[in-house]
Amino acid sequence: MDTSAALRIDQPLATLGQVDADDPAAFNHCFAEVNGIRMHYIDEGQGPLVILLHGFPYLWYMWRRQIGALAAAGFRVVVPDQRGFGQTDRPDAIEAYDMSQAVGDIVGLMAALGETSAVIVGHDLGAWVAQAAAMLRPDLFRGLVMLNTPVPPRGKIRPTVGLQEMAKGRVFHHLYFQQIGKPDRELASDPRKTLRSIFYSVSGSAVGAERWRLFIEAGEPILNSFTEPKEFPSWLSARAIDYYVDEYTRTGFTGAINYYRCRDRNWEITSFLDGAVVRQPSMFIGGAADPSFEPVEIRSIYHRLDIYQPGLQKKVLLPGVGHAAAEESVDKVNELLLEFLEQFKR
């Protein structure tokens, strides 16, 4: 996108009734050279900095209905495409997607913005990055919010070993993504079908056999675990789906999948985090209908979050909401975020 054409006004365009928040051009698009890559990000509003990190397979765009609300409430809202996604660079090496690089990108972005303090909010994969950022740089990140994915501490065993034990002979998607090439090709073969199927099946709108099946059998293609709806629920418009499809058609899925290929590497390079916890004020927002909460091991992490995060102020599961709370339950997520963020305006 030509950033010279981006329109900037005192009140973010996305908050104005006559503007469609689903229109990517309604936001101020910027680029910065950080940590050896060119990063694309949205920059709206003025005030204390809030950074919003998307998950997989999403983009900065998943936060489009939070950006205006937070900016209008007196915050500077910065929303990047993380490395490997959207308009941000996609390095080739798998190790370029480990947590040290992902956190380094956000630290570098803050430096480029001239900011020294932020509240960091992460969804799904972004929650892993946000939690690591809060743990590694408490001097920079003074608050943490995680959406949909409760992140555990480092743990005593290698992640892929723990996931194999949880899967009990079947294949979890983190394990499936350890394969080189195959999942990338499968997801990219028809990006529209892939994204419609994933977005729907992980949501609270899917019921029964339509819901995401977390574990597949050995040799089964991963797309078998999702259902493509005939008609998409109203919380995700055709225009929004088109934006996601256009971006993933252009970029493919390899950069995004490489984060999962670094699960063991992240464990190997963070032995110094054994016993570490997040002490900053924090909050967790999840969906009571999120299929990813079905394994007892995941629910256990949620129930023990106050141990992993002594500064935890609230954790909530929204009724009827699935894995994309920010898109499925806009008003409630905005309300919860603004309630949490109020303490950082003082």
> What would the pLDDT profile of 318-334 be if each residue is shown by its tens digit?
999 999 999 999 999 99
pLDDT computed for residue 19 by the predictor: 61
**Is residue 3 scored above 60 in pLDDT?**
no
In the predicted model, is pLDDT for residue 101 greater than 60? yes
Rg (CA), the chain: 19
Indicate if 22 belongs to the active site: no
3-class state of residue 34 by DSSP: strand
Question: Which residue, chain included where needed, has tokens 């308009």?
Answer: 87
Whole-structure pTM value: 0.94
Q: What distance in Å separates the CA atoms of residue 82 and residue 259, rounded to the nearest whole number? A: 11
Nearest C-alpha neighbor of 162 from the set 257, 306, 264: 264
Q: Do residues 42 and 27 make contact, with C-beta atoms less than 8 angstroms apart?
A: yes
pLDDT for the residue numbered 251: 98
Say which amino acid occupies 330: V
Strands 282-287 and 312-318: parallel
pLDDT of 345 above 60: yes
100: exposed, middle or buried (C-beta count within 10 Å: 0-12, 13-18, 19+)? Answer: middle
pLDDT given at position 231:
94
Placement of tokens 């339509």 in the chain: 210
Distances from the Cα of 136 to the Cαs of 48, 106, 270, 272, 309, in angstroms?
Answer: 21, 12, 10, 10, 14
Q: Which member of 124, 173, 184, 290 is catalytic? A: 124
pLDDT for residue 159 is more than 60: yes
Q: Identify which has the larger pLDDT, 316 or 14.
A: 316
What is the average pLDDT score of the chain?
93
Q: Per-residue b/e over 113-144, b at no fewer than 16 CB within 10 Å?
A: beeeebbbbbbbbbbbbbbbbbbbbeebbbbb
Question: What gap in Å lies between CA 319 and CA 289, rounded to an integer?
Answer: 7
Asked if 12 contacts 71 with a C-beta cutoff of 8 angstroms, the reply is yes
pLDDT given at position 17: 42
The arithmetic mean of pLDDT across residues 295-299, rounded, is 92
Q: Cis peptide leading into 291, omega within 30 of 0?
A: no
How confident is the model at residue 20, as a pLDDT?
81
Three-state DSSP state, 224: helix
CA distance 95 to 228: 33
The lowest-confidence range among 3-17, 120-134, 244-258, 300-314 is: 3-17
| All domains of the chain in start order, with CATH | 3-345 (3.40.50.1820)
Q: Which residues pair with 286 in a beta bridge?
A: 317
Give residue for tokens 């009734």.
17
Tokens of 287: 């969906």
- How far is 147 from 149, CA to CA, in rounded Å? 6
- pLDDT at residue 276 in the model: 94
What are the structure tokens assigned to 108, written together? 């570098």
Read off the pLDDT band of 120 (50, 70, 90).
very high
What's the pLDDT at 239? 96
Which candidate in 40, 123, 173, 323 is catalytic?
323
State which amino acid sits at residue 168.
Answer: K
The answer for residues whose C-beta is within 8 angstroms of residue 190's C-beta and 6 or more apart is none
Annotation marks residue 124 as catalytic = yes
- Residue of 254, 267, 248, 247 whose CA lies nearest to 91: 254
Per-residue pLDDT at 322: 98
pLDDT at site 346: 72
Q: Can you tell me the distance from the alpha carbon of 212 to that of 194, in angstroms, rounded to the nearest whole number?
A: 13
